[in-house]
Amino acid sequence: MSAGQTEACINRMGGWDNFLRFIGGQGKVVFETILTFLRTFSIAAQPAITTSKEYFEEAGVKWTGDNFKAQFLGLEVPETAETELAIHKLEQASLDAPILAERGDKAETAVSQFKVFLAKNRKSSEWFIFYLRGRDGNLWAVHAYWDTGDGGWDVRAHSVTYPYSWDAGRRVVSRN
């Protein structure tokens, strides 16, 4: 840690007096959050698979965007252990970077877990955001919503570096 970083930290705490109060046990660090925990969702262990259009159609996917097709069709997905996913409500509009920072190493969900989640949540009125690893090895923001007109999931993928802003109220699905 540099002297400049130390000074910036003390300044962010409101100065030297607050810093002394903090190290003396009179304060605590509170980080602002943009996600509110709603519930968990259990996913059984999944076998290894190579994805296809039919694989996702089994989960009720009716429409996919070009990025999703390019990154997630024909993808070799390793087997996964039983896991628990966490569903959070996005409290304010946000780009991907703050969401990823808040969820940390738990942000990424396996593609097979994504498929099972969709299959078991058909007809949901919620819009879901997942972070999945694509064919290019990069993390992609994938959103899904149930289109009542088409009777299935509409699924699209965006690069996490693309400045796409998610609306408040969306549900972020990640590992618990």
Per-residue pLDDT 10s for the chain (176 aa) are: 788 888 888 887 788 888 888 888 887 776 789 999 999 999 999 999 999 999 999 999 999 999 999 999 999 999 999 999 999 999 999 999 999 999 999 999 999 999 999 999 999 999 999 999 999 999 999 999 999 998 999 999 999 999 889 999 999 999 99
- Both 77 and 5 in one domain: the answer is no
Within this chain, do residues 81 and 1 fall inside the same structural domain, yes or no?
no
Q: What is the 3-state secondary structure (H, E, C) of the chain?
A: CCHHHHHHHHHHCCCHHHHHHHHHHHCCCCCCCCEEEEEEEEECCECCEECCHHHHHCCCEEEECHHHHHHHCCCEECCECCEEEEEEEECCCECHHHHHHHHHHHCECCHHHHHHHHHHCCCCCCCEEEEEECCCCCEEEEEEEEECCCCEEEEEEEECCCCCCECCCCEEEEEC
Considering the domain architecture, whether residues 23 and 41 belong to the same structural domain is answered as: no
Domain count, the chain: 2
Domain coverage including residue 15 = 1-30
Residues 87 and 58 in one domain: yes
Q: Are residues 13 and 43 in the same domain?
A: no
Per-residue pLDDT, 14: 80
Q: Is the separation of the CB atoms in 96 and 160 below 8 Å?
A: yes
- pLDDT at residue 8, as a whole number: 82
* 10 & 66 share domain: no
Residue-level pLDDT at 97 = 95
Q: In terms of domains, do 60 and 144 share one?
A: yes
| Residue 138 vs residues 37, 104, 132, 135: alpha-carbon distances, Å | 26, 15, 8, 7
Is there a single domain that holds both residue 66 and residue 92?
yes
Same domain, 17 and 87: no
For 78-92, what is each residue's pLDDT tens digit? 999 999 999 999 999
Q: Are residues 95 and 80 in the same domain?
A: yes
Task: Please tell me whether residues 11 and 51 are part of one structural domain.
Answer: no
The whole model's pTM is what? 0.84
Contact 144, 118 (CB under 8 A): yes
User: Do 86 and 139 sit in the same domain of this protein?
Assistant: yes
Which residues are CB-contacts of 47 (< 8 A; sequence separation ≥ 6)?
A: 79, 112
Instruction: Give pLDDT, residue 79.
Output: 97
As a whole number of angstroms, the distance between CA 57 and CA 54 comes to 5
